[in-house]
Structure 1
Amino acid sequence: MMKLVRLLAIGLTAITAPAGADTTLSLAFELDDTDSVTSVIYDCGDGDAFTVQYVNAGANALALMEVGDEDRVFVNVVAASGARYVSGALVWWSKGDMATLENELSDGSTRTCQTQ
Structure 2
Amino acid sequence: MKDAVFLAGALLAMTVAASATTVTLKLPGKEKPQTTRAAYACPAQKVAVTYINTSANQFAVLDLGKSTIVAVSVISGSGARYVGQQYEWWTKGNEATFTDLMQSPQKPVTCRQIK
Quote the residue 1:45 is aligned against. 43
Letter in 2 for 1:37: T
In the alignment, structure 2 segments of 5+ residues that lack a partner are 1-11
Q: Is the 8 A contact 2:69 2:85 kept in 1?
A: no
In the TM superposition, residue 110 of structure 1 has moved relative to its aligned partner by 1.8
Q: Closer, same or farther in 2 for the Cα pair 1:38/1:45, shift >3 Å?
A: same
More strand by share: 1
The verdict on how the C-alpha distance between 1:97 and 1:10 changes in structure 2, with shifts beyond 3 A counting, is closer
Which residue of 2 is the match for residue 74 of structure 1? Answer: 71
TM-score between the two structures when normalised by the length of structure 2: 0.71
Kept in 2: contact 1:10–1:25 (CA 8 A): no
Give me the TM-score of the superposition, normalised by structure 1: 0.71
Equivalent-residue separation in structure 2 for 1:81 and 1:104 (angstroms): 19
Which deviations, in whole Å up to 9, do the C-alpha atoms of 1:20-55 show, x marking residues without a partner? xxxx642255643xx410001100133x32210011
Distance in 1 between residues matched to 2:26 and 2:82, nearest whole Å: 19
Identity score, percent: 30
Match of 2:16 among 7, 25, 28: 7
Number of residue pairs aligned between Structure 1 and Structure 2: 100
SS at 1:6 equivalent: strand
Other-structure match for 1:57:
54
SS in 2 for 1:45: coil
Computed over aligned residues only, the root mean square deviation of the Cα atoms, in angstroms, reads 2.7
Tell me which moved more, 87-96 or 100-109: 100-109
- Distance in 2 (CA, whole Å) between partners of 1:54 and 1:4 is 16
Gaps of 5+ in 1: 13-23
Structure showing greater radius of gyration is: 1
* The one of 98, 107, 110 aligned to 2:108: 110
